[in-house]
Amino acid sequence: MTRKHWFFVLALLALMALALAACGGSSSATQAPAQEEAAPAEKATEAPEEKETEEAEEAGGEEDLVKKGEELFNQNPLGSNAGCVTCHSLEPGVQLVGPSLAGIATTAAERVPGMSAEEYIRQSILEPNAYVVEGFPEGLMPAYTDLSPEQVDALVAFLMTLK
């Protein structure tokens, strides 16, 4: 073989080595995504049954009303506003955006002379600016005027248990 031939053979070998390296690289890159497709597509089976029983319970006395009130209190959002829980803790002394409502049934009785605790709580929900708790700005708590009278009753009944 001549020198020219050797050169040709070497060049060919070099090309093959390059081609192999490229293949090796790309084949390992194409293998990875194949596994990801095995994700399970379940989760579409949730029964929307709860609502009706909740409403049927409404006539079921004070205890149910309190329970419903507690649920509403923890619901977020509530109607078209942020839920009560976003601003009110039920732990004594824990101030979020608004005052803690621990013991509110007791506090409420003393807020406005001549107004019962129940009336005061109801007013706090529907007209929060009628009486503004000292140390808090007016207009921060939204008025929950889009709640039904039953929902307001339930919230009041729940808060009246926090003595």
Q: What is the dihedral of CA 116, 120, 121, 124, to 10 degrees?
A: 180
Give the list of residues 6+ apart from residue 10 with CB closer than 8 angstroms, or none.
none
Told to check if 84 binds ligand HEC by CB under 6 A, we report yes
Q: Partners of 81 in the beta sheet?
A: 78
x-or-dash pattern for ligand HEC, window 126-145, by CB under 6 A? --x---xx--x---xx--x-
Of the ranges 9-17, 36-44, 60-68, 84-92, which one interacts with ligand HEC (CB under 6 A)?
Answer: 84-92
Interface with ligand HEC in residues 19-78 (CB under 6 A):
78
x-or-dash pattern for ligand HEC, window 86-105, by CB under 6 A? xxx--------xxx-x--x-
At 36, which amino acid appears? Answer: E
Give the list of residues 6+ apart from residue 130 with CB closer than 8 angstroms, or none.
123, 124
Cβ burial of 69 (10 Å; 0-12, 13-18, 19+) is buried
Told to check if 18 binds ligand HEC by CB under 6 A, we report no
List % helix, strand, coil for the chain (3-state, nearest 5).
Answer: 55, 0, 45
Binders of ligand HEC: how many residues, by CB under 6 A? 24
Q: Which is nearer to ligand HEC, 82 or 115 (CB)?
A: 82
Contact residues toward ligand HEC (CB under 6 A) are 78, 82, 84, 86-88, 97-99, 101, 104, 107, 111, 121, 124-125, 128, 132-133, 136, 140-141, 144, 155
